Structure 1
Amino acid sequence: MAELRREPSRRNGVTMVNSEPTCELHLRMSGQSHDLTLRLHDDAPSEDEVATWMREGLVIPLHVSESGSSALRTVLVNFATVAIASLLPYRAGRGVDL
């Protein structure tokens, strides 16, 4: 079973982050032609964790930030609707280090 992650402290309802994302999670939702890219903060999930979330159809809270923003938000991802997922290391600038 997935473990919930602690949310960073909030100031005035907005969570600000001082660190780079730990990785990028690319998701292709069933029936969609494009990937959704999430810049994850906190500990990066393993491929086995993501596979378990997909196999069990879990809804998982993830801490993400958008490119060019230091605001952190929590999104709930329904892994029952994920067809393809890939984890990539995060690298400032280009976004990923292939």
Structure 2
Amino acid sequence: MMFGILVSAFNAVLAFLLRSVLVKFAAFFALYFIVTGFLQVMQAAGLFPSASSLNGVLSGIPPGVAYFMDLFSVSQGISMIVSAYFTRFIIRRIPLIG
């Protein structure tokens, strides 16, 4: 009697692991490699700006504008916005959530 209950519980746990956890792991594993591959292709195509081009753009900001950008902490705001967009991008890639 007790052995049958334990076997049934083990069977239910094993079925859960094989049906949901293993399938989700395989799906996320595939998504990881797909996204990594796309990022490498986009980087090789030159779609991302380089550090020297960003430095050139930022050095062209007049001192008065730079003062007010520092006063209003624009650098922190931009990093928060980029982080929020990145998080939104990642969350939208999760099945059943995004």
| TM-score normalised over the length of structure 2 | 0.18
**Which structure features the higher share of helix residues?**
2
**Which structure features the higher share of strand residues?**
1
Indicate the structure whose relative CO is greater, using CA pairs within 8 Å and at least 6 residues apart.
1
Structure with greater Cα Rg: 2
| TM-score normalised over the length of structure 1 | 0.18
